[in-house]
Amino acid sequence: MEFTNQSKCICLALVLMLGDWSSEATSRSFNDAFAYGRYEQWIARYGRVYNDIKEKEDRFNIFKENEAFIDTSNNDGNKLYKLSLNQFADLTNEEFIASRNRFKGHECSTKTTTFKYENATVPATMDWRKKGAVTPVKDQGQCGSCWAFSAVGAMEGITQITTGKLISLSEQELVDCDVQGEDQGCSGGFMDDAFQFVIQNHGINTEANYPYTAGNSTCNAKEEAGHAATITGYEDVPANSESALLKAVANQPISVAIDASGSNFQFYSSGVFTGTCGTDLDHGVTAVGYGVSADGTKYWLVKNSWGAQWGEEGYIRMQRDVAAPAGLCGIALQASYPIA
Ligand SMILES: *[C@@H]1O[C@H](CO)[C@@H](O)[C@H](O)[C@H]1NC(C)=O
Ligand SMILES: *[C@@H]1O[C@H](CO)[C@@H](O)[C@H](O)[C@H]1NC(C)=O
Protein backbone atom coordinates (compact mmCIF):
# COMPACT_ATOMS: atom_id res chain seq x y z
CA MET A 1 0.00 0.00 0.00
CA GLU A 2 1.45 3.30 -1.04
CA PHE A 3 0.57 6.90 -1.48
CA THR A 4 1.07 7.62 -5.14
CA ASN A 5 0.53 10.19 -7.81
CA GLN A 6 -2.96 11.64 -7.57
CA SER A 7 -3.85 11.94 -11.27
CA LYS A 8 -2.80 8.39 -12.07
CA CYS A 9 -4.81 7.05 -9.18
CA ILE A 10 -8.08 8.74 -9.94
CA CYS A 11 -8.12 6.94 -13.29
CA LEU A 12 -7.28 3.64 -11.71
CA ALA A 13 -9.97 4.07 -9.10
CA LEU A 14 -12.55 4.76 -11.78
CA VAL A 15 -11.64 1.62 -13.67
CA LEU A 16 -11.91 -0.45 -10.52
CA MET A 17 -15.23 1.12 -9.68
CA LEU A 18 -16.75 0.12 -13.02
CA GLY A 19 -15.31 -3.33 -12.81
CA ASP A 20 -16.52 -3.87 -9.30
CA TRP A 21 -19.98 -2.52 -9.46
CA SER A 22 -21.88 -5.17 -11.45
CA SER A 23 -20.61 -8.12 -9.44
CA GLU A 24 -20.57 -6.36 -6.07
CA ALA A 25 -23.94 -4.67 -6.19
CA THR A 26 -25.91 -7.88 -6.19
CA SER A 27 -24.11 -9.34 -3.19
CA ARG A 28 -24.00 -6.20 -1.07
CA SER A 29 -26.71 -4.99 1.23
CA PHE A 30 -28.19 -1.62 0.48
CA ASN A 31 -26.26 0.06 3.33
CA ASP A 32 -23.07 -1.63 2.33
CA ALA A 33 -23.43 -0.35 -1.21
CA PHE A 34 -23.64 3.19 0.12
CA ALA A 35 -20.62 2.59 2.34
CA TYR A 36 -18.78 1.24 -0.68
CA GLY A 37 -19.60 4.41 -2.57
CA ARG A 38 -18.08 6.49 0.22
CA TYR A 39 -15.06 4.17 0.20
CA GLU A 40 -14.61 4.74 -3.56
CA GLN A 41 -14.76 8.49 -3.03
CA TRP A 42 -12.19 8.24 -0.26
CA ILE A 43 -9.90 6.12 -2.48
CA ALA A 44 -10.10 8.72 -5.24
CA ARG A 45 -9.51 11.60 -2.85
CA TYR A 46 -6.43 10.06 -1.24
CA GLY A 47 -5.11 8.39 -4.38
CA ARG A 48 -5.00 4.96 -2.82
CA VAL A 49 -4.02 2.00 -5.00
CA TYR A 50 -4.56 -1.62 -4.01
CA ASN A 51 -2.84 -4.65 -5.46
CA ASP A 52 -5.99 -6.64 -6.09
CA ILE A 53 -9.71 -6.95 -5.34
CA LYS A 54 -9.03 -9.04 -2.26
CA GLU A 55 -6.91 -6.33 -0.67
CA LYS A 56 -9.46 -3.71 -1.67
CA GLU A 57 -12.21 -5.75 -0.02
CA ASP A 58 -10.19 -6.29 3.17
CA ARG A 59 -9.44 -2.58 3.35
CA PHE A 60 -13.15 -1.85 2.83
CA ASN A 61 -13.98 -3.83 5.95
CA ILE A 62 -11.42 -1.84 7.97
CA PHE A 63 -12.75 1.39 6.45
CA LYS A 64 -16.30 0.50 7.54
CA GLU A 65 -15.19 -0.23 11.10
CA ASN A 66 -13.30 3.04 11.27
CA GLU A 67 -16.30 4.90 9.83
CA ALA A 68 -18.55 3.43 12.53
CA PHE A 69 -16.03 4.41 15.23
CA ILE A 70 -15.83 7.97 13.87
CA ASP A 71 -19.63 8.34 13.56
CA THR A 72 -20.15 7.17 17.14
CA SER A 73 -17.58 9.63 18.43
CA ASN A 74 -18.88 12.56 16.36
CA ASN A 75 -22.50 11.89 17.40
CA ASP A 76 -21.53 12.26 21.05
CA GLY A 77 -22.58 15.84 21.69
CA ASN A 78 -20.34 16.09 24.76
CA LYS A 79 -17.07 15.79 22.85
CA LEU A 80 -15.16 18.99 22.12
CA TYR A 81 -13.43 17.50 19.07
CA LYS A 82 -14.36 15.84 15.80
CA LEU A 83 -12.86 12.89 13.97
CA SER A 84 -12.81 12.34 10.21
CA LEU A 85 -12.08 9.72 7.56
CA ASN A 86 -8.60 11.07 6.86
CA GLN A 87 -5.70 9.45 5.00
CA PHE A 88 -5.48 6.75 7.69
CA ALA A 89 -9.07 5.52 7.21
CA ASP A 90 -8.14 2.13 5.72
CA LEU A 91 -5.60 1.26 8.43
CA THR A 92 -6.29 -0.63 11.62
CA ASN A 93 -5.01 1.14 14.70
CA GLU A 94 -2.21 -1.46 14.99
CA GLU A 95 -1.06 -0.84 11.42
CA PHE A 96 -1.23 2.89 11.94
CA ILE A 97 0.98 2.76 15.03
CA ALA A 98 3.46 0.40 13.39
CA SER A 99 3.93 2.64 10.36
CA ARG A 100 4.45 6.01 12.06
CA ASN A 101 4.97 6.47 15.76
CA ARG A 102 8.54 5.72 16.67
CA PHE A 103 9.58 7.95 19.49
CA LYS A 104 11.54 5.70 21.80
CA GLY A 105 10.40 6.72 25.26
CA HIS A 106 13.23 6.55 27.77
CA GLU A 107 12.23 4.58 30.88
CA CYS A 108 13.50 7.42 32.98
CA SER A 109 15.69 10.36 32.21
CA THR A 110 18.80 10.48 34.36
CA LYS A 111 20.04 13.69 32.84
CA THR A 112 19.73 16.62 35.23
CA THR A 113 19.84 20.03 33.65
CA THR A 114 19.04 23.53 34.64
CA PHE A 115 15.77 24.98 33.42
CA LYS A 116 16.45 28.43 32.03
CA TYR A 117 12.77 29.39 31.93
CA GLU A 118 12.18 28.61 35.61
CA ASN A 119 11.22 32.19 36.40
CA ALA A 120 9.82 33.18 33.01
CA THR A 121 6.65 35.22 32.80
CA VAL A 122 3.98 33.80 30.53
CA PRO A 123 1.61 35.69 28.24
CA ALA A 124 -2.04 34.54 28.28
CA THR A 125 -1.73 33.01 24.81
CA MET A 126 1.07 32.17 22.40
CA ASP A 127 1.18 31.14 18.76
CA TRP A 128 4.71 30.92 17.35
CA ARG A 129 3.25 30.66 13.83
CA LYS A 130 2.10 34.26 14.12
CA LYS A 131 5.63 35.26 15.11
CA GLY A 132 7.04 33.64 11.99
CA ALA A 133 8.92 30.90 13.87
CA VAL A 134 7.17 27.86 12.38
CA THR A 135 7.69 26.33 8.92
CA PRO A 136 4.78 24.77 6.98
CA VAL A 137 3.56 21.36 8.19
CA LYS A 138 5.63 18.46 6.86
CA ASP A 139 4.82 14.78 6.29
CA GLN A 140 7.02 12.02 7.67
CA GLY A 141 5.31 9.38 5.48
CA GLN A 142 5.62 5.72 6.41
CA CYS A 143 8.84 6.17 8.35
CA GLY A 144 9.23 6.31 12.13
CA SER A 145 11.13 9.60 11.98
CA CYS A 146 8.77 11.68 14.15
CA TRP A 147 11.69 12.32 16.54
CA ALA A 148 13.60 14.11 13.74
CA PHE A 149 10.57 16.26 12.80
CA SER A 150 9.97 17.16 16.43
CA ALA A 151 13.61 18.18 16.99
CA VAL A 152 13.81 20.07 13.69
CA GLY A 153 10.61 21.99 14.52
CA ALA A 154 12.16 23.18 17.78
CA MET A 155 15.48 24.05 16.07
CA GLU A 156 13.71 25.98 13.29
CA GLY A 157 11.91 27.90 16.04
CA ILE A 158 14.93 28.91 18.12
CA THR A 159 16.87 29.79 14.96
CA GLN A 160 14.14 32.18 13.83
CA ILE A 161 13.82 33.69 17.31
CA THR A 162 17.56 34.38 17.59
CA THR A 163 18.42 35.27 13.98
CA GLY A 164 15.12 36.49 12.55
CA LYS A 165 15.41 33.97 9.72
CA LEU A 166 12.94 31.12 9.26
CA ILE A 167 14.85 28.29 7.59
CA SER A 168 13.34 24.87 6.91
CA LEU A 169 15.91 22.39 8.23
CA SER A 170 16.71 18.80 7.24
CA GLU A 171 15.08 15.83 8.95
CA GLN A 172 16.73 13.52 6.44
CA GLU A 173 20.19 14.51 7.65
CA LEU A 174 19.18 13.29 11.11
CA VAL A 175 17.62 10.10 9.70
CA ASP A 176 20.72 9.28 7.63
CA CYS A 177 23.64 10.68 9.62
CA ASP A 178 22.62 10.55 13.29
CA VAL A 179 23.13 6.79 13.54
CA GLN A 180 26.16 6.44 15.84
CA GLY A 181 24.09 6.69 19.04
CA GLU A 182 20.59 5.49 19.89
CA ASP A 183 18.78 7.09 16.97
CA GLN A 184 17.74 4.63 14.28
CA GLY A 185 16.37 6.59 11.34
CA CYS A 186 12.96 5.28 10.30
CA SER A 187 13.08 2.80 13.19
CA GLY A 188 12.84 5.56 15.76
CA GLY A 189 14.86 7.90 17.91
CA PHE A 190 14.97 10.64 20.54
CA MET A 191 14.75 14.40 20.21
CA ASP A 192 17.50 14.99 22.79
CA ASP A 193 19.86 12.72 20.85
CA ALA A 194 19.05 14.66 17.69
CA PHE A 195 20.02 17.90 19.47
CA GLN A 196 23.22 16.22 20.66
CA PHE A 197 24.03 15.20 17.07
CA VAL A 198 23.59 18.76 15.78
CA ILE A 199 25.81 20.15 18.56
CA GLN A 200 28.58 17.66 17.74
CA ASN A 201 28.17 18.17 14.00
CA HIS A 202 28.36 21.96 14.54
CA GLY A 203 25.13 22.46 12.63
CA ILE A 204 22.43 21.11 10.39
CA ASN A 205 21.70 21.68 6.71
CA THR A 206 18.53 22.99 5.06
CA GLU A 207 15.57 20.91 3.92
CA ALA A 208 16.30 22.21 0.39
CA ASN A 209 19.90 20.95 0.37
CA TYR A 210 19.18 17.66 2.11
CA PRO A 211 15.54 16.85 1.23
CA TYR A 212 13.30 14.32 2.91
CA THR A 213 12.83 10.90 1.29
CA ALA A 214 10.85 9.04 4.00
CA GLY A 215 13.39 6.24 4.02
CA ASN A 216 16.77 5.27 5.48
CA SER A 217 19.69 6.15 3.25
CA THR A 218 23.42 6.40 3.72
CA CYS A 219 24.61 9.71 5.09
CA ASN A 220 25.46 12.32 2.48
CA ALA A 221 28.73 13.55 4.02
CA LYS A 222 28.96 16.57 1.74
CA GLU A 223 25.53 17.87 2.77
CA GLU A 224 26.14 16.88 6.39
CA ALA A 225 29.06 19.33 6.34
CA GLY A 226 26.80 22.20 5.23
CA HIS A 227 25.46 24.21 8.17
CA ALA A 228 22.44 26.49 7.81
CA ALA A 229 21.78 26.64 11.56
CA THR A 230 23.28 25.36 14.74
CA ILE A 231 22.61 25.03 18.45
CA THR A 232 24.97 25.05 21.42
CA GLY A 233 22.99 22.98 23.92
CA TYR A 234 19.63 21.69 25.03
CA GLU A 235 17.68 21.34 28.25
CA ASP A 236 14.84 19.14 29.48
CA VAL A 237 11.70 20.75 30.84
CA PRO A 238 11.06 19.50 34.42
CA ALA A 239 8.74 16.51 34.04
CA ASN A 240 5.16 16.23 35.29
CA SER A 241 4.58 19.95 35.28
CA GLU A 242 2.34 21.62 32.75
CA SER A 243 3.19 24.96 34.36
CA ALA A 244 6.90 24.37 33.60
CA LEU A 245 5.97 23.40 30.05
CA LEU A 246 3.95 26.61 29.78
CA LYS A 247 6.98 28.72 30.72
CA ALA A 248 9.01 26.91 28.09
CA VAL A 249 6.46 27.18 25.25
CA ALA A 250 6.01 30.86 26.11
CA ASN A 251 9.63 31.33 25.08
CA GLN A 252 10.19 29.03 22.10
CA PRO A 253 8.70 26.03 20.24
CA ILE A 254 9.33 22.92 22.35
CA SER A 255 9.87 19.27 21.42
CA VAL A 256 7.34 17.11 23.26
CA ALA A 257 6.72 13.37 23.35
CA ILE A 258 3.14 12.09 23.49
CA ASP A 259 1.16 8.88 23.38
CA ALA A 260 -0.45 9.14 19.94
CA SER A 261 -1.50 5.52 19.74
CA GLY A 262 -5.27 5.88 20.14
CA SER A 263 -7.81 5.60 17.32
CA ASN A 264 -9.22 8.99 18.24
CA PHE A 265 -5.77 10.49 17.76
CA GLN A 266 -5.45 8.66 14.43
CA PHE A 267 -8.67 10.25 13.14
CA TYR A 268 -8.53 13.62 14.92
CA SER A 269 -9.93 16.32 12.69
CA SER A 270 -10.74 19.50 14.67
CA GLY A 271 -11.53 21.01 18.05
CA VAL A 272 -9.76 20.69 21.37
CA PHE A 273 -8.70 17.08 21.76
CA THR A 274 -9.82 15.71 25.12
CA GLY A 275 -9.86 12.05 24.11
CA THR A 276 -8.81 9.17 26.27
CA CYS A 277 -5.09 8.75 26.01
CA GLY A 278 -2.31 6.73 27.59
CA THR A 279 1.15 7.90 28.59
CA ASP A 280 3.23 5.33 26.70
CA LEU A 281 5.19 7.96 24.80
CA ASP A 282 5.48 6.84 21.19
CA HIS A 283 5.38 10.03 19.12
CA GLY A 284 7.47 13.18 18.88
CA VAL A 285 5.80 16.48 17.94
CA THR A 286 6.44 20.19 18.50
CA ALA A 287 4.43 22.38 20.87
CA VAL A 288 4.22 25.78 19.14
CA GLY A 289 1.79 27.63 21.36
CA TYR A 290 -1.11 27.54 23.77
CA GLY A 291 -4.42 29.27 24.29
CA VAL A 292 -8.02 29.04 25.44
CA SER A 293 -10.87 28.05 23.12
CA ALA A 294 -14.13 29.97 22.79
CA ASP A 295 -15.81 27.70 25.34
CA GLY A 296 -13.01 28.27 27.86
CA THR A 297 -11.05 25.04 27.35
CA LYS A 298 -7.30 25.51 27.70
CA TYR A 299 -5.18 23.87 25.02
CA TRP A 300 -1.67 23.26 23.73
CA LEU A 301 -1.12 24.07 20.05
CA VAL A 302 0.86 21.17 18.62
CA LYS A 303 2.49 20.82 15.20
CA ASN A 304 2.33 17.25 13.91
CA SER A 305 4.23 15.73 10.95
CA TRP A 306 1.43 13.81 9.24
CA GLY A 307 0.83 16.34 6.47
CA ALA A 308 -1.58 19.26 6.29
CA GLN A 309 -4.58 16.97 5.61
CA TRP A 310 -4.51 15.60 9.15
CA GLY A 311 -6.18 17.52 12.01
CA GLU A 312 -6.47 21.29 11.84
CA GLU A 313 -4.28 21.77 8.76
CA GLY A 314 -1.67 19.51 10.28
CA TYR A 315 -2.02 20.79 13.85
CA ILE A 316 -3.84 19.48 16.90
CA ARG A 317 -5.09 21.45 19.87
CA MET A 318 -4.68 19.23 22.93
CA GLN A 319 -6.35 19.90 26.25
CA ARG A 320 -4.04 21.72 28.68
CA ASP A 321 -3.99 21.72 32.50
CA VAL A 322 -5.62 18.33 32.98
CA ALA A 323 -5.82 16.61 36.37
CA ALA A 324 -2.94 14.21 35.69
CA PRO A 325 0.53 15.73 36.28
CA ALA A 326 1.78 14.01 33.12
CA GLY A 327 -0.63 16.08 31.03
CA LEU A 328 -2.93 14.73 28.32
CA CYS A 329 -1.23 11.86 26.45
CA GLY A 330 1.87 12.44 28.63
CA ILE A 331 2.70 15.77 26.98
CA ALA A 332 4.46 17.04 30.13
CA LEU A 333 6.68 13.97 30.59
CA GLN A 334 9.59 14.42 28.19
CA ALA A 335 9.66 17.93 26.80
CA SER A 336 12.96 19.50 25.78
CA TYR A 337 14.36 22.38 23.77
CA PRO A 338 17.53 23.43 21.97
CA ILE A 339 19.57 26.43 23.05
CA ALA A 340 20.97 28.68 20.34
C1 LIG B 1 14.83 31.84 39.62
O2 LIG B 1 14.70 32.65 40.76
C3 LIG B 1 15.36 32.12 41.91
C4 LIG B 1 15.02 33.01 43.09
O5 LIG B 1 15.32 34.35 42.81
C6 LIG B 1 16.85 32.02 41.64
O7 LIG B 1 17.51 31.46 42.74
C8 LIG B 1 17.07 31.14 40.40
O9 LIG B 1 18.45 31.12 40.07
C10 LIG B 1 16.27 31.66 39.22
N11 LIG B 1 16.40 30.71 38.13
C12 LIG B 1 16.85 31.03 36.92
C13 LIG B 1 16.96 29.93 35.92
O14 LIG B 1 17.17 32.17 36.62
C1 LIG C 1 17.39 2.52 9.59
O2 LIG C 1 18.74 2.74 9.93
C3 LIG C 1 19.04 2.54 11.31
C4 LIG C 1 20.45 2.97 11.58
O5 LIG C 1 21.36 2.41 10.69
C6 LIG C 1 18.77 1.09 11.69
O7 LIG C 1 19.02 0.86 13.05
C8 LIG C 1 17.30 0.77 11.39
O9 LIG C 1 17.03 -0.58 11.64
C10 LIG C 1 16.95 1.11 9.94
N11 LIG C 1 15.50 1.01 9.81
C12 LIG C 1 14.91 0.59 8.71
C13 LIG C 1 13.42 0.58 8.72
O14 LIG C 1 15.52 0.24 7.70
Task: Tell me if 185 CB under 6 Å of ligand 2.
Answer: yes
Question: Average pLDDT, whole number, for the chain?
Answer: 90
Nearest ligand atom owner, CA of 180: 2
Please identify, by atom number, the ligand 2 atom nearest to the C-alpha of residue 144: 13
> Any idea how long the chain is?
340
Nearest ligand atom owner, CA of 114: 1
Ligand 2 centroid to residue 81 C-alpha, Å: 36
pLDDT per residue as tens digits for the range 123-178 = 999 999 999 999 999 999 999 999 999 999 999 999 999 999 999 999 999 999 99
The whole-number pLDDT of residue 106 equals: 56
> Catalytic residue among 146, 177, 277, 329, which?
146
Cα separation, 230 vs 5, whole angstroms: 35
pLDDT per residue as tens digits for the range 166-205 = 999 999 999 999 999 999 999 999 999 999 999 999 999 9
Phi, psi dihedral angles at 155 (to 5 degrees): -70, -40
Q: Which of the pair, 285 or 6, is modelled with greater confidence?
A: 285
Ligand 2 centroid to residue 85 C-alpha, Å: 31
> Catalytic residue among 205, 264, 304, 329, which?
304
Establish whether 283 is a catalytic residue: yes
Ligand 1 centroid to residue 321 C-alpha, Å: 24
- Residue identifier of the C-alpha nearest atom 14 of ligand 2: 216
Kindly report the three-state secondary structure assignment for every residue of the chain: CEECCHHHHHHHHHHHHHHHHHHHHHHCCHHHHHHHHHHHHHHHHHCEECCCHHHHHHHHHHHHHHHHHHHHHHCCCCCCEEECCCCCCCCCHHHHHHHHCCECCCCCCCCCCCCCCCCCCCCCCEECCCCCCCCCCCECCCCCCHHHHHHHHHHHHHHHHHHCCCCCECHHHHHHHCCCCCCCHHHCECHHHHHHHHHHHCCECECCCCCCCCCCCCCCHHHHCCCCECCCEEEECCCCCHHHHHHHHCCCCEEEEECCCCHHHHCEEEEEECCCCCCCCCEEEEEEEEEECCCCCEEEEEECCECCCCCECCEEEEECCCCCCCCHHHCCCCCEEEEC
Please determine, looking at this structure, whether the domain spanning 81-339 carries the CATH number 3.40.50.720.
no
Task: Tell me if 204 CB under 6 Å of ligand 2.
Answer: no
Domain ranges across the chain: 2-75, 81-339
The whole-number pLDDT of residue 143 equals: 93
Nearest to 307 by CA among 80, 46, 26, 25: 46
- Is the per-residue pLDDT at 17 higher than 50? no
Nearest to 132 by CA among 83, 109, 166: 166
- Residue identifier of the C-alpha nearest atom 3 of ligand 1: 119
Average pLDDT over residues 241-246: 98
Largest separation between any pair of C-alpha atoms in the chain: 69
Task: Tell me if 119 CB under 6 Å of ligand 1.
Answer: yes
Report how far Cα 161 is from the mean position of its chain's Cα atoms.
23
Ligand 1 centroid to residue 53 C-alpha, Å: 65
Nearest ligand atom owner, CA of 119: 1
Task: Tell me if 28 CB under 6 Å of ligand 1.
Answer: no
Beta partners for 316? 302
The whole-number pLDDT of residue 152 equals: 98
Ligand 1 centroid to residue 330 C-alpha, Å: 27
Task: Tell me if 116 CB under 6 Å of ligand 1.
Answer: yes
- Is the per-residue pLDDT at 24 higher than 70? no
Task: Tell me if 200 CB under 6 Å of ligand 2.
Answer: no
Establish whether 304 is a catalytic residue: yes
Task: Tell me if 186 CB under 6 Å of ligand 2.
Answer: yes
Establish whether 146 is a catalytic residue: yes
- Is the per-residue pLDDT at 240 higher than 50? yes
Task: Tell me if 313 CB under 6 Å of ligand 1.
Answer: no
Please identify, by atom number, the ligand 1 atom nearest to the C-alpha of residue 114: 13
Specify whether the CB–CB gap between 70 and 295 falls below 8 A. Answer: no
Confidence class for position 275, pLDDT limits 50, 70, 90: very high
Task: Tell me if 179 CB under 6 Å of ligand 2.
Answer: yes
